[in-house]
Amino acid sequence: MRISRRLVMMVCALSVVSGGLAGCGIGAQGLEDAPAGSADKTSRESYDQFVAQMDEILAVTGATTGWTSEYGYAWPPEPDKALIPRPCDSENWKDSPRQITLQLLGPGTEDFEADRDAMIRYMEGRGMEISGVLGDSSYPEGVAWNAVGQGANGLTIDYATSPSHRAVTLYGECSSHPSMQEGVSRTAP
């Protein structure tokens, strides 16, 4: 089922206003104009690219430490910690290329508007299409300001920032390489 971008943005706005901090989890799956292509990177190439991308994103926030995964382990993951690739197309998941996806939660910031805007500039600098830009001075205290960037081949960054927390959900590029069917880590081939 394809979901319209407008519907996703409306649900995202409601989620944020009701106190959802973890971002809207939009990702590349299900959007009308999501990229259909697929790379053929091995699991190790995909993993290395994913980790480097996440480290770049955290550098933009200015807080490179204190981040934990949605599963409670510290970033960066231990060398043998496997990340499980998910289908890029949830509708045709059996034949779908796969992508590494992970959400990190980190410390808040006092100037969350500037923080969000810095992330938008970063995403624009990478040639990403920006959507889901939410937040204004009428928001109640503690409600996250969001931005989503979509790049080539399924790459998506969903960013939420507030005085108490920040959340980054990174959807890595899709790959149809057979090694992406299993967990990937620094020790993967």
Task: Please compute the mean of the pLDDT values over residues 10-17 and round it to a whole number.
Answer: 35
What's the chain's average pLDDT?
80
Q: How far apart are CA 113 and CA 97, in angstroms?
A: 35
| pLDDT score for 10 | 33
Question: CA gyration radius for the chain?
Answer: 16
For the segment 45-69, the average pLDDT, to the nearest whole number, is: 95
Q: What is the pTM for the complete model shown?
A: 0.78
Higher pLDDT, 150 or 20: 150
Q: Which of 103, 98, 123 is nearest to 175 (CA)?
A: 98
SS3 148: strand
Cβ atoms of residues 143 and 15 within 8 Å: no
Mean pLDDT on 121-135: 93
Would you place residue 28 in the very low, low, confident or very high pLDDT band (cuts 50, 70, 90)?
very low
| Mean pLDDT calculated for residue range 100-119 | 94
Higher pLDDT: 138 or 103? It is: 103
Nearest-CA neighbor of 143 among 25, 29, 12? 12
Contact 174, 39 (CB under 8 A): yes
Q: Looking at residue 187, what is its pLDDT?
A: 81
Local confidence band at 189 (pLDDT 50, 70, 90 cut-offs): low
Answer CATH for 23-181 from 3.30.2030, 3.30.70, 3.30.450, 1.20.120: 3.30.2030
Q: Examine residue 76 and say whether the peptide bond preceding it is cis (omega within 30 degrees of 0).
A: yes
Statement: residue 100 has pLDDT above 70: yes
Q: Which residues contact 136 (CB under 8 A, 6 or more apart)?
A: none
In contact, 134 and 13? CB cutoff 8 Å:
yes
Its sign, for the CA torsion 85, 119, 29, 49, is: negative
